[in-house]
């Protein structure tokens, strides 16, 4: 797919959307699957000129990166809470 050809994109979507959904369904809660799959194809639409002749590995690579970003985003608040819990309060006297 060399340009943003809507019909070519529809074919790409119809052919590979089920696989991308299964990829996410095996790794994230069901409520996140459709959003992540949609985001994968949004990247494909934006980078249509970069799509190789066999696009599934490319799409899966995008999906892996989106999954990593999603995990970092959801784990960040927990990690911050744990770091802050380990810090002593500034208004408490230092213990020796």
Residue 66 is part of a domain; what is its CATH number?
1.10.1740.10
Half-sphere exposure of 29 (CA within 13 A, CB side): 5
Q: Is there a domain that residue 96 lies in?
A: no
Whether this model's pTM surpasses 0.85: no
Q: In this predicted structure, what is the pLDDT of residue 90?
A: 62
Contact present, 25 and 64 (Cβ < 8 Å): no
Look over the chain and give the mean of its residue pLDDT values, rounded to a whole number: 88
Phi, psi (5° rounding) for residue 58? -65, -45
Q: How many domains does the chain have?
A: 1
Q: Is there a domain that residue 93 lies in?
A: no
CA distances from 65 to 10, 49, 71 (A): 23, 19, 10
Residue range(s) defining the domain that contains residue 47:
6-80
**Average pLDDT for 1-5:** 70
Q: Is there a domain that residue 88 lies in?
A: no
């Amino acid at each position: 797919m060399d340009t943003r050809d809507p019909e070519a994109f529809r074919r790409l979507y119809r052919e590979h959307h089920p696989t991308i959904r299964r990829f996410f369904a095996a790794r994230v809660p069901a409520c996140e699957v459709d959003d992540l799959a949609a985001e994968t194809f949004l990247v494909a639409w934006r980078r249509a000129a970069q799509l190789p002749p066999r696009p599934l590995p490319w799409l899966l690579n995008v999906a892996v990166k989106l999954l990593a970003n999603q995990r970092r985003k959801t784990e960040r608040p927990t990690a911050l809470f744990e770091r802050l819990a380990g810090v002593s309060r500034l208004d408490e006297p230092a213990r020796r």
